[in-house]
Structure 1
Amino acid sequence: MTADSFHGWLAPYATSPAASRGRLVGEPESPTRSCFQRDRDRIVHSGAFRKLKHKTQVFVYHEGDYYRTRLTHSLEVAQIARSISRALRLNEDLAEAVALAHDLGHTPFGHAGEAALDDCMKPFGGFSHNDQSLRILTRLERRYAAFDGLNLTWETLEGVVKHNGPLLPLPAGAVLPVTIRAFQTVCDLDLDTNPGLEAQVAALADDIAYNNHDIDDGLRAGFFTLEEIAELPLLGPIIGDLRRQWPGLEQPRLVHETIRCMIDRMVSDLLAETGRRIAAADPGGVEEVRRAPRALVAFSAGMDEVQRPLRAFLRQRMYRHYRVNREMSKCKRVVRALFELFMAEPNTLPTSWQVELRDHGGDTDDTMRARLVADYIAGMTDRYALSEHRRLFDVDTKT
């Protein structure tokens, strides 16, 4: 497909590469790839993306090789986002880039690590993985001669930052995260508007992926049974239909078929509801999508209704399971201990990070020191954080 025919294939409300707002640092265009394809490729080749292989989704890496990691989760989100975008005639490459980048800022140990680091950073502006993703994409990846970060397009950065929708206006008493606030002074991401449809697709592809793979992982871990999830309104009819169609089907195949059908139902519902919303709004272009009074990519009210019991079930039976709580309690203590030690004794940081501290005033400025310590810890994989903790606190472990 040529560039011209590709642009003609896109819906009028899709994000065309030719209409991109560009990059913060100007670069010549590639003769073989669109600007959003280049964004995707830069994300895939980044160090932060590789490290997602050993970052927790729900289970710490040593729990087993079967369970999802941040990397496999991001790949599943990207696949779902591409499929939905193609069906809606949106820009698949942009949706994929946003999907692959949306979790780059996660700490080791998943949301438990993020909560611990945010608690440590409260006196210094707090910590959020979404803000850290922007920090990685615009500062911390240092691979190119002309700029820090990956110098991604405005649209990809917008999609990552507004992963959960508009950031403005702020709730009473809230402030913008530090990196997003600073970036706004050099590049306005229109934080009071919706993101483009491709970013909206990536956000709901995230929901579809984690709902489904958490059921799969939870069953594998023995947190619940097929009989128990068959009581849920979304899963019960699926499991019933499969058992009637395939009586006696062994459980591993039944589980896979259940997940496959659940993804299909959620995607089909999203496509139908999004089609209705787009038809009603009739946006002539992406700017009308941004100014729409509500997101145009959405599940139906009926799908939202049946998802609520599923989320509540997973929250109670998986995310708050005592085995998960015990692991996450240990992981939080690891993050806190590392942060407190590096703040008190920055000379225990690796040499390159000590140089970074001095170059940015972190040797005298506590806020700057805390932010750089948070960068170091957030960039760790699960296993590196555990190894670093052993090296620093176990007197029998070599440093």
Structure 2
Amino acid sequence: ALLMLYYRPDVTQAYNSVKQIQEEIAFGFFIRNIHYHASNAMVFLAIAHLFYQYFSGRFKVKNEVIWVTGVILGTVTVIEAFTGYDLILNQRAMLAVNIAVGLTNSAPFLGEQLAPLLLGGGLYDLIIRFYALHVFILPMVMLLLALVHFPRNLVFDPPVVAGVIGAILIAGGLYPVDLGIKYDPTRGIVEVPEWYLTGIYAFLRTGLERFTAGAFLPLLFILFFLLVPFVDRSKKLSWKERPFFTAAGISSIVLIIVTTVWGFYTTPRVDAFTAVYIEPLIFYPLLAFLVAASFIISYKFIAPPPSARPQKPPVRTRPITFQLPYPWAVRIIMGVLAAIGILSLVAFQNYLDGLKNLALFNLGVIVMLFGAIAHVYRHAMQAVK
């Protein structure tokens, strides 16, 4: 809400309004850093959640609708993050904007019709549209998808929530987001987009036809995950019992890692075009080799040999549990509360001294310590019962 109050979706004022939020508005530094790192965490957790569900076979047992809405929700999450970081209108944002404009205009059949609707007549219209998408339209779509995706499985776990929030705050303290360089069309500055878009950027940098590289190939990747529940119809859930699909999942992770890392790399001390150009005769054969090799190795490692006899299912043993005595739990909680009190004073002093990143870091540690208290308390209550 603070960002919306002070941000101005205007070409001439957008960058300066974000600068004002970060440098002049009270707590603006904290809010913007939390907002930025939370968006990155949102994308990362969406991807991690997708692969966890994929390898554990959770898309089976009549969960096809939940899986499909989850894949769509993850895709919309990336678009939501993309429209957000474009609003600052720095050099990095304008790179992403130009890519979006190029992809829309190059779309077959509907490109010319969609461009005026999505992009407007110029940068002034585009920033208003991106702002509306980011703060209203896409969040509403995500909310509707979430209502379908989490009908009964959404669980509030205080230690986990505290851990995630604490990690976001600590990341904001260790890696405070900068403003970047204000957009200037006359400056040929080499930039790369955010990490969740560098994979697509790598394909675009090879000179492949724009729509194919930036839209068609990613859509094929998304389509694979959308169709998995309808192709993998076996009742087996364990990744060990589904060697083909497990190997396909591992090779897709390799694909993401290779393209993401390659998309970050630029050649220094050369002109802007040469710095970002990726030689397709190197990129595509090497990418195909790594993806194919990861699939074959994974499949060979997981799939049992044809002559192997079916093994008996392992005997399930009772998991080892650690019971924390109640008196010790009280001592630990009191000690952690004392540490929280000290860190709170330190964080406040950091803020007064202008060391905002250290204050944010200490706040993250404090939140994590509250999560630890909740975890210890829960175990102590189980021991009492």
Q: What's the TM-score once normalised by structure 2's chain length?
A: 0.30
Larger radius of gyration: 2
Q: What's the TM-score once normalised by structure 1's chain length?
A: 0.29
Compare the two structures and name the one with the higher helix fraction: 2
